[in-house]
Amino acid sequence: MLVLTRKENEAIVIRDQFGAEIRLSVKAISGNKVRLGIEAPSDVRILREEVAQMSELSAESACL
């Protein structure tokens, strides 16, 4: 895992081998909460971790 430090209004760009980019921007920091902005191609599905886990569990139970 790569861990980076960013300040408010700074960003991280993730680029794949085909040139597609995902940009994560720190929009606001308030106490222990960070507001992120995410720019990604429309075919990239973006989910909060807890939603992704629920989706995986639903898919697994559907296969049973």
DSSP 1-64: -------TT-EEEEE-TTS-EEEEEEEEEETTEEEEEEE--TTS----HHHHHHHHHHHHHHH-
Contact (Cβ atoms closer than 8 angstroms) between residue 54 and residue 62: no
pLDDT at 25: 98
The domain locations on the chain are 11-63
What is the reported pTM?
Answer: 0.77
What pLDDT is recorded for position 63?
A: 67
Q: What is the pLDDT of residues 7-19, one digit of tens each?
A: 999 999 999 999 9
Residue 59 has pLDDT above 80, yes or no: no
Write out pLDDT tens, residues 3-58.
999 999 999 999 999 999 999 999 999 999 999 999 999 999 999 999 988 877 77
pLDDT of the residue at 58: 76
